[in-house]
Structure 1
């Protein structure tokens, strides 16, 4: 990573922090597999969320002490449950990268009290139009995490309301078949990391236990047809049949209307992993028609992943064609639904979707 590039320090520390947090989640899953932790309750997910958030915020806060943090987890339950606190502390205090130079760039809380205070920084923060906020989701895809399927450790820098850095650690990601699947996972290694800085393209690298591996550029996604071509049958959707917030049936109707293949090429629970599927997993489009008019997404479910897709040649708007604004707080308050597609095809996809809505009352 060249120090002459904007945000080079932010990217380096973010990638190392995410890699260490993904290592932590793998260590926890190994304990579950060995029967050391009961997989039939929510404890492993809780420990992973808290521990990963503590490690990530600890490192980013030391490197960038004036920055804000936006995360989902509050440490209240840790303060109320000494046994749970001890288990989280055990994982946080013992997880280290095996490369001393890389580990030296990071930080680890020195006491349990410092750990819970770091976790709480995440619930105090807001993404606003001015200033810098690190947005994180320590385990995006908690249900699939416990099933040994796809999940992501997510970190993004939002500055003055715009994404600047995005890092997704995908510990189970396996691209041997060219697609992203819940059940095709990396059993032997530590998965893959995707990262991007605005205006600098997107990159992918294998993850491990030590220093960062070299990153390779992610090729631009393929444009569907031509800019004057109404044929959208080349769209390859990613979606989630089990999602409660979006209308999977209407998505299917739209795909049928434009002649695109359905069921979706990838069906993924983690919202962030859907951006991964569009970047490197053979998909090139995503739509989200909410079931409820008032629904708005949390910023940590999309920040970072959106940037990676955009740096791969994609474009993302809401259903009215407005850009996604990350500077309105902890939710994407002005973003109703979503349309993601290759930049050269996005206008045609949006137009087709809006015509579909007028004819069917989809929203």
Structure 2
């Protein structure tokens, strides 16, 4: 993509640090496969989450020290568990890109610095005054430990507006043209999907060193008929009302069941970008439910750059300036602009 846009440095650092965090998560999965870490408890997920957050925040904070950082984890569990702390530190201190690109990033030099960096993310928030990096070190923890699909996510939100998003899918295998939990990249490091506001969306294969060439993703076809809707969803999601989703599809005359089922919320945006789907809807089971910022920031931007509209269930734009959650966003509709309004009206009618 054109490197003259105003976020060129931010994008380069973001793509490199997501790629480095990808290498770390792959090391954890390899340790599980070899029996070094016990799959029956939560420790592999825990060390992957903490270690990836530390590496991502280390790189971002060094490059952009004035920026706020919003991350999912804090260091309490590591401070209380010496074994987890040692495992996490070993991963953080041993994971590097294998070429000169590593010099553009930063890693903590001590365990205490690692813990402090993790806590930077725990204290961050998005508002209308600041510039915030939002990250999810492992989106899809339940599927990560099973060697299925998961995502490493990083986005830049400036005064409540998404400016760039980078989603790394370390296990993404696109040979079938669709994303599937169990069809994974066994040999490589998956793909990155990324976007800069106003400049389109792109993807590249990930590797172990310098960033590989990227190519632009085509915009989504602007469908007008419900029969052309292709949903991505998750039957197992505890926060979504899958029965209501089915009722919506039936009301519209749209195909059901959905063609692609993915646990990680951010991967549903990837499925819209490169996995053959075009629509994602979330009708919560609980009226008080609000999504976490890190489950959607960046992914929403990618969908928008491809011609989709992202809104709450009433059709209102999503406000990213209200803290660590999408506090004013009840549910979500992501669909090509040409049919988004039909979905909003259908939701009103079935609810």
**TM bucket, shorter chain:** over 0.9
Matching of residue 156 in structure 1 with residue 150 in structure 2: no
* 1:100-179 equivalence runs, <5 A: 100=100, 102-179=101-178
Other-structure match for 2:339? 345
Distance 1:76 1:37 in 2: 21
Alignment of 1:157-236 (within 5 A): 157-225=156-224, 231-236=225-230
Q: Does 1:277 align with 2:271?
A: yes
Q: Distance in 2 between matches of 1:269 and 1:15?
A: 23
The CA deviation at 1:9 is 0.4
- After TM superposition, which residue ranges in structure 1, 4 or more long, deviate above 6 angstroms? none
Residue number in structure 2 paired with 1:300: 294
Q: Which residue of 2 aligns with 1:81?
A: 81
Shift of 1:3: 4.2
In the TM superposition, residue 352 of structure 1 has moved relative to its aligned partner by 2.3
Q: Does 1:326 align with 2:320?
A: yes
Structure 1 residues 83-109: Cα deviation after superposition (integer angstroms, max 9, x where no partner): 211110000000010112x10000000
TM-score with structure 2 setting the length: 0.98
What value does the CA root-mean-square deviation take over the aligned residues? Answer: 0.9
SS at match of 2:166: strand
State the Cα deviation string for residues 302-347 of structure 1 (Å, max 9, x = none): 0011111111111110011110001000010000011110012211
- The separation in 2 between residues aligned to 1:107 and 1:156, in whole angstroms, is 18
Residues 2 and 286 (structure 1), Cα distance of their counterparts in 2 relative to 1, 3 Å cut: closer
- Give the Cα separation in 2 of the matches to 1:337 and 1:170: 24
Match of 2:53 in 1: 53
Please name the residue that 2:283 is paired with.
289
Query: Structure 1: how far apart are the matches of 2:217 and 2:74?
Result: 35
SS of structure 1 residue aligned to 2:226: coil
Distance 1:103 1:81 in 2: 30
Q: Distance in 1 between matches of 2:2 and 2:336?
A: 28
Describe the SS at the equivalent of 1:344. Answer: helix
TM-score by length of 1: 0.95
Within the alignment, does 1:266 sit opposite 2:260 as a pair?
yes
Q: Cα offset for 1:2?
A: 4.5
CA contact (8 A) 2:71 2:135 kept: yes
Which piece of structure 1 moves more, 259-268 or 155-164?
259-268
Deviation at 1:281? Answer: 0.5
Partner of 1:27: 27
C-alpha distance in structure 2 between counterparts of 1:143 and 1:157, whole Å: 26
1:356, distance to aligned residue in structure 2 (A): 2.5
Gaps of 5+ in 2: none
Q: Please say if residues 247 and 350 of structure 2, whose CA atoms lie closer than 8 Å, have aligned partners that are also in contact.
A: no
In structure 2, C-alpha distance between the alignment counterparts of 1:290 and 1:43, rounded to whole Å: 30
Query: How many residues matched?
Result: 351
Partners of 1:353 and 1:297 in 2: how far apart? 18
Aligned mate of 2:247, from 233, 250, 253: 253
- Distance in 2 between the 1:317 and 1:2 partners? 29
